[in-house]
Amino acid sequence: MKIIQRYRRAILAPVSIVILLCGCTDLVSSRSPRFAEHPKNDTDFVSVDCERVKPFFESKNITILVDRKQATAEDIAKTTCNGMCCNRDTEEQLRHQARADFHDLIHHHSRSLQGLLATTADALRETVTMLARQSENKTLTLFDQVYRTMAVSSRPSIKALYQAMVDYVSPSNTPDSLQQPLTRDMLQERFIEFFAKLFPIAYHGAVNPRQYEQDFTEKFKTCLYETMEQIQPFGDIPIQVSKSVSKSLEATRVLVQALTLGKTVLDRTDSVLFSGTSPQQEACYAALLRMTYCPRCKGIGPSVRPCSGFCTNVMRGCLTQPASELDLAWSGYVETVERLVVAVDGRNDPLGLNAERAVRQLDTRISDAIMHAMTDGPALEEKVSIQTDS
């Protein structure tokens, strides 16, 4: 399906990023798990200027020490940062701030991935809806131009059939709870129902219109409707069409639901995985404090950033445990989605999962069914006669 080619990068881009995030466990474990840190006894009591970093802390609503007399060497030795501008109470506030900053960063990137998954799912739904509406218009035009005597009577059934196809990939049928009000078997029944309702109309308007100038009685219509399975006026076409369209739409529905489920999983895990107070997480928050706020406690302005190696080691340490918990499950999810994308987007479509091909051919297949009944007219009338006489 062309829509898959168009949005394939949107599907796999967030997935690739999460693979990188969740697949970094081996990389992290191959190095020292300890967080890098600055030396603790490098405070220069002479050159430290707390006034220089005061605006930075005020922007965080945190009060720092600006008078050197407020901090003694003994007090500073008890702190994590060993900086003249922060006491232990200040550092505790900064620790919470570093934790909040980290959570916000994780949440921001998670939201971006969730947005891509959600918009891709919506785009797939919209594409199927567009294809169904285009095919519906072609079918209605076909009846208006070719099967004119059947056009008015068949219109409600045609609209109901295509609406069922749209409903099949709608949000109500692809929730993250994995519930499915409209099942594949039910969709197939809608197709069989359509052809069953089409049979009396086609028999009257196309098979032998001269013999039946007046409309059938309701009793006769009901008889034709109820005996379609035995008479088989359209041959195997109703079964073939119901299976091919429902199979391809089911593949698309599963893909849409998988993307929706992935969004929900990300939404829940980014808060759960980083909400605990394990020793690993406490070490992470301490390292974040040293990396982001300790330089400010030493009077170093915000224009000076931590070196990339230090930052990388801290991030590795903070993400090791959450990544290990997510890695296997998320990698399996990604692999499954990728296989489904390839199957739905198959150019040769050996599995018959391409919804675009199946939906676009539907008007032709309906016409083929009517032509089959017309070609088999005499034999069909004999079958009808046998059924009505029995």
pLDDT tens for each residue of 128-175: 999 999 999 999 999 999 999 899 999 999 999 999 999 999 999 988
Give me the percent of the chain exceeding a pLDDT of 70: 80
- Per the listing, tokens 């098979």 go with 207
pLDDT for the residue numbered 48: 66
Cα-based angle 349, 14, 268 (whole degrees, multiple of 5) = 110
Residue 193, number of CB atoms within 10 A of its CB: 18
Indicate the average pLDDT of the chain: 81
pLDDT for the residue numbered 196: 94
Please give the Cα distance from 157 to 72 (Å, whole number).
87
User: If DSSP states are collapsed to H, E and C, what string results for 107-152?
Assistant: HHHHHHHHHHHHHHHHHHHHHHHHHHHHHHHHHHHHHHHCCHHHHH
pLDDT tens for each residue of 37-55: 343 444 444 456 788 888 8
Rounded to the nearest angstrom, the gap between the alpha carbon of residue 233 and the centroid of all alpha carbons in its chain is 42
Residue-range domain boundaries for the chain? 49-389
Burial of residue 370 (number of CB atoms within 10 Å: 0-12, 13-18, 19+): buried
Q: Select the highest-mean-pLDDT range: 204-208, 219-223, 260-264, 364-368.
A: 364-368
| Radius of gyration, CA atoms only, the chain | 34
Region of poorest pLDDT, from 222-236, 257-271, 314-328: 314-328
Q: What is the pTM of this model?
A: 0.73
Whether the per-residue pLDDT at 28 is higher than 50: the answer is no
Residue 45, number of CB atoms within 10 A of its CB: 10
pLDDT tens for each residue of 186-235: 999 999 999 999 999 998 887 766 555 566 788 888 888 888 889 999 99
Local structure of residue 297 (DSSP, 8 states): H
pLDDT tens for each residue of 68-118: 555 566 667 778 888 888 888 888 999 999 988 888 888 888 888 889 899
Q: What residues contact 242, with CB distance under 8 A and at least 6 apart?
A: 187, 188, 191, 192
Whether the per-residue pLDDT at 10 is higher than 50: the answer is no
Please give the Cα distance from 167 to 311 (Å, whole number).
49
pLDDT tens for each residue of 269-312: 776 766 667 788 888 889 999 998 998 888 888 778 888 888 88
Yes or no: say if 382 and 45 are a contact pair by the CB < 8 Å rule: no
Treating both helix axes as pointing N-terminal to C-terminal, what angle do 88-145 and 362-375 enclose, rounded to 10 degrees?
30
Please give the Cα distance from 141 to 252 (Å, whole number).
27
Treating both helix axes as pointing N-terminal to C-terminal, what angle do 377-389 and 362-375 enclose, rounded to 10 degrees?
80
Whether the per-residue pLDDT at 27 is higher than 50: the answer is no
Q: What is the mean pLDDT of residues 307-326?
A: 82
